Amino acid sequence: MYDRRQCPPQRHSSVRRDAPLLLVLSALLAPAPLAPAEVVSVSATAEVELEQLRRGLPETRESQILTHPGSPLPLQAVATLVAQGEDSAALGGAQFAAPNLGAPNPQELALNVTCDSLSPDLAYRARGVVEEVRTIILRTGEVNRPSGSRAAVIGRLTLDGALAIYATDPNADLGGAEVSLFAQIQQAGGPDGDGTLLSGTIRLVGLAGGQVRVDATGSLPTSTLILTNLASTVPELGVFHVLIIPGIVARYDYSATIDAPFELRVKVEASASNAPDGVGATALLGSPTDALLDVIGLARGSDMATRIVGAVQRERDDPTGEPAIVRPPAFGLCGVLGFETAVGLAGLAMLAGRRRLAWC
């Protein structure tokens, strides 16, 4: 079921005053935190939505949404759509597992959405979302500051995954095919009121003539994104565009009042849509490439699915492509110590993987 060795997306924070950084604890790097903040409560939602379109018109939908508390952990929202006899299918999976409040949990979050169709009439849309809300109190004894005083906090969000669009015809019209990753962190109840601390989207967009482009908006860093065409590794594919998101790290800043509760909310969403007649699209975040096997196998057979999955995994492990966006990075790395515990994205129940997504 799960591979406990795998690491998911993760987050952590550092608390600072006007000038010096207060080294409160090492939530990610130390085996046991020296002074953990109090996590008062944790709630989460895992949701997937799929839609099958025939000649551009909605035909069938499947979805699942699970919440905690209410449903026991782990939350594993999974949906599939299969067009029997038409070599077409879609799959979505979203997981939130029991958080380990003392250390990162590799199984905590995972997302995978995949659409594939050999039919000239069918296309799919897929969306997976995981949200987590933590109510946190930073105690006076943890930072040696008086109750009611203000502390500045530096956080980091780490995302690791892959987006891909592929097609049988090297000159296929990939218009309508798109995969994207959206991430957002919000704070409620802070001394500055409610607000969005970080928000950004990365998109791989299909174009005519078998081409793609990469778009990015918001505050996610993009300087290390890698885009490559792996068609030479899978002869049955004319184009196989893969955008690697190699553990990008985004910094965000906020304030907290000592001994006063506040909320941090992380939302991570992956979405995919494909075009008919041999075009596929997939988004993986904190999930292993094994997740592709099921849905691609339904459309193209298990042997070809294995080759596609192998190519994506090799590219994630050792990217060979070129920078997808050439511009200065949005943020540098920040301090390594954190007071909230890590939130991880890793494998779904039917998956095993080692990629990660974390925030703090």
Residue-wise pLDDT for 33-72, tens only, equals 333 468 899 999 999 999 999 999 999 999 999 999 999 9
Rounded-to-integer distance, Cα 193 and Cα 262, Å: 10
Rounded-to-integer distance, Cα 284 and Cα 112, Å: 5
Rounded-to-integer distance, Cα 294 and Cα 302, Å: 8
The answer to whether residues 39 and 98 touch, using CB atoms and an 8 Å cutoff, is: no
CA angle 244, 235, 179 (to 5 degrees): 30
Q: In the predicted model, what is the mean pLDDT of residues 68-83?
A: 93
Neighbours of 313 (CB within 10 A): 18
The answer to whether residues 223 and 293 touch, using CB atoms and an 8 Å cutoff, is: no
- What is the Cα gyration radius of the chain? 21
Q: Which residue has the higher pLDDT, 335 or 128?
A: 128
pTM: 0.77
Count CA atoms closer than 13 A to 173's CA, side-chain side. Answer: 6
The answer to whether residues 351 and 110 touch, using CB atoms and an 8 Å cutoff, is: yes
3 state DSSP class of 56: coil
Q: Which residue has the higher pLDDT, 328 or 157?
A: 157
Q: Characterize the bridge pairing of strands 11-16 and 122-137.
A: unpaired
Q: In the predicted model, what is the mean pLDDT of residues 226-238?
A: 89
Q: Position 82: which residue type?
A: V
Q: In the predicted model, what is the mean pLDDT of residues 309-314?
A: 71
DSSP one-letter string for 17-35: -SSSEE---BTTTSSS-SS
Q: Of 184, 193, 203, which is closest to residue 11 (Cα–Cα)? A: 184
Computed over every residue of the chain, the mean pLDDT equals 77
3 state DSSP class of 314: helix
Neighbours of 319 (CB within 10 A): 19
